[in-house]
Amino acid sequence: MILYAAIIASFLSSLYLFHRRRSCKHPLLFDYPILGMLPTLLFNLWRLHDFITEILTKHGGTGEFMGPWFTKMNYLVTCDSLNVQHMLCKRFDNYVKGHDFRDIFEPFGDGFGAADDETWKYIRNLLRSQMKQPRLKAFVDQTVQKKILTSLLPILDHAQQQGRVVDIQDVLVRFTSDNICLTTVGHDPKSLSVDFPEVAIEMAFRETEKSIFYRHTVPKTIWKLQKRLQIGQEKKMREAYKTFDEFIYALIASKREELSKCTKEEISEAPFNLLTVWMTEDEGLREHDDKFVRDSAFNFLVAGRGAMASTLTWFLWLVSKHPLVEAKILEEIRDNFKTNEKKNDDCGDHCFDEDHHNDNLDQEQYLKQSASGEALGMEEVTKLVYLHGALCEEIWGKDCLEFKPERWISDRGEIVYAPAYKFIAFNAGPRICLGKDLAFVQMKMVAAAILSKYCFKVVEGHVPTPTHSIVLLMKNGLKARIMKREV
């Protein structure tokens, strides 16, 4: 009986493998019995991004990943720009987000990040009209400049005077979180302050991102069961979800009460934020209820906080490793705005770390010190073409291992724009990010303000590695010492 059972098991396994390998025409990895391609992936988890890049390169940019048997975790993986163009541009209507996507990205609700069909078209048209408003650009310009002068630079100055190692990524995440919160709902969580407080809403966002990534890594039946039983990561998701909803619905109620007491003229003259716009937008299409406002706010906050912080973190790390690029950025700033910085700036020769330390300085003192300073505005940073190119340098082209901002600059000194389906940092096709240009100018404002005043020395032995998340942050942050740039 044991022999017969072994023969039957062997026969069934052979049938299973035959079926799997016939259905998987372009396998990325070796397909193990029962476990599929998971063992090889887990073995290389510590270098996942590099590993996937190597595998896709060997397979012409596209291949299939087959997960463990019965898990339904089978994927088509591609980095081929023609495939991207097909899905995001030419055959956009064939590739909807769908029910499974909305299930995983549950906290996004019916916002623009997860919506399909007529709901998506309505939101898209509404956002397009809002993003064109001069009031929005003026408000963002003012908000970013104020936040740079009253929070970002004072915090960096404080850390520099103390001589302490700072997680630059944490600083930038806090800055962008406060900034996008002000722009979206008119509220400043003040997570970027001298004592680096743990802000409930910010912690809720981080936990939500972890949970969404977790849902991508385990079979649907597992996380669905955890959700039903309210255990594990799903319990944390629910708590984070609740924290955000309490926060946003309280702001919505307060804003509705405030607006009910205002005339149209008073509303039009009030400080601008998207929460107010969503409640007062008169497009003659439909009334925006609290759920619509909540979903819109969540999608905007997620889109605006992590992505810019991630880009700026990797950018500053790369600049710290490439002094020639740093010198060119500083030269461009100096040539356009006649700063007093000396030429041939180099972090080794032209930066210093003050040797006096004062642990009793409070943020209020720094706010007063920074009040007389200036930060470049949106119109001004449009002149910084080389800085724009440096921010674009991601993994790109045949010489992608070189940090080469020049590839983004034409012979006439203008910015070179690559097709969105080849450079998909801001998506492509009908879903391309409407806030792309606004994001770039904000990042240029922050980068110019920081690099004009400071340079960084990454602590010895600190190796930045990408985190496993829906946002490509650094796993252990960016630990560095801050030094004032000599002028």
CATH number at residue 439: 1.10.630.10
pLDDT of residue 474: 94
Same domain, 228 and 137: yes
Q: Would you say residue 370 has pLDDT above 50?
A: no
Q: Residue 52 belongs to what domain range?
A: 24-79
The answer to whether residues 357 and 454 belong to one domain is yes
Whether residue 72 is found in the same domain as residue 130: no
User: Each residue of 109-123: pLDDT tens digit?
Assistant: 999 889 998 989 998
Inside any domain, residue 142: yes
Q: What is the rounded average pLDDT of the residues 145-157? A: 94
Do both 178 and 247 map to the same domain?
yes
Query: Higher-confidence residue: 60 or 367?
Result: 60
Residues tagged in the binding site annotation: 433
HSE at residue 14, side-chain half, CA atoms within 13 A, is 6
Band the pLDDT of 348: cuts 50, 70, 90: very low
Q: Specify whether 176 is located in the same domain as 57.
A: no
Same domain, 67 and 169: no
pLDDT of residue 355: 44
Residue 262 lies inside a defined structural domain of this protein: yes
Query: Which residues in 179-208 are b (16+ Cβ under 10 Å) and which e?
Result: bbbbbbbbbbbebbbbeeeebebbebbbbb
- Give 297-317 pLDDT, tens digit per residue: 999 898 888 889 999 999 999
On whether both 63 and 190 belong to a single domain, the answer is no
Average predicted confidence (pLDDT) for the chain: 85
Residue 352: inside a domain: yes
Q: Could you give the number of structural domains in the chain?
A: 2
* Stretch among 2-6, 75-79, 371-375, 425-429 having the lowest mean pLDDT: 371-375
Query: Which of 48, 63, 79 represents a domain boundary (last residue)?
Result: 79
Q: Which residues does the annotation place in the binding site for heme?
A: 433
In a domain, 291, yes or no: yes
* Domain annotation covers residue 264: yes
Same domain, 37 and 181: no
The pLDDT tens digits of the residues spanning 415-473 come to 998 899 998 889 999 999 999 999 999 999 999 999 999 999 999 888 889 998 888 99
Q: Is there a domain that residue 99 lies in?
A: no
Instruction: Tell me: do 175 and 240 sit in the same domain.
Output: yes
55 & 187 share domain: no
Whether residue 439 lies inside any domain: the answer is yes
* pLDDT 10s digits, 55-81: 998 999 999 999 998 888 899 999 999
Q: Is residue 107 part of a domain?
A: no
My answer on whether 396 and 257 are in the same domain is yes
Ramachandran angles phi, psi of 474, nearest 5°: -85, 135
Read off the pLDDT of residues 328-347 as tens digits, 9 standing for 90 and up. 999 999 998 864 444 444 44
For residue 89, name the pLDDT band (cuts at 50, 70, 90).
Answer: very high
**What are the DSSP calls for 320-371, one per residue?**
HH-HHHHHHHHHHHHHHH---PPSS--HHHHEE------TT--HHHHHHHHT
Residues 6+ apart with CB under 8 A from 91: none
* 56 and 202 co-located in one domain: no
